[in-house]
Amino acid sequence: MPAMYTVDILHVIQEPAWLMYCETPVPAGVPIPPESYRGPSIDLNKLLLPHPHSTYLARVNGDSMDGPPSYIRDGAFMTIDCSLKPEPGHLVVAALDGEFTVKRLEKRGSTFWLIPDNPNHQPIDLSLQGKNFEVWGVVTHVITDMVGRPRRL
């Protein structure tokens, strides 16, 4: 049996969550002097939850996606949109034998696979899963704590 992620589904408050937006791009290469300009406020719910009645927030528990290209770390939060049609290349949350896992959906020939980004985990051939498999939603965003503070809700 392939290693599963534990995906904790969390309640999302559907009120605006406003943050100040800095319109000046922040380069990841050569530093440039910052401009002291604040742009308009951004509603995080509108950005992260375009389909609020079919989008969930989940916390990741596991390391099968912590390699390239996703780098989704243990403890990260994901927004999962259940209204989107899963396509090859999407990160998806799938239910296998009643347990959730998050992997990249790929099509190899006529067969669909769930592919981990961590090479220490094995791909899952969905043709072998029968009726014990269902794509539950598409991962649209990942929120990772870069400071390492304790995760409290």
* Of 68, 76, 53, 55, the residue nearest 5 (C-alpha): 76
The span from the CA of 34 to the CA of 19, in Å, is 19
The torsion angle over the Cα atoms of residues 45, 138, 136 and 62, rounded to 10 degrees, is -90
Q: What residues are annotated to the active site?
A: 64, 103
Query: Which residues does residue 93 pair with via DSSP β-bridges, in sequence order?
Result: 102, 137
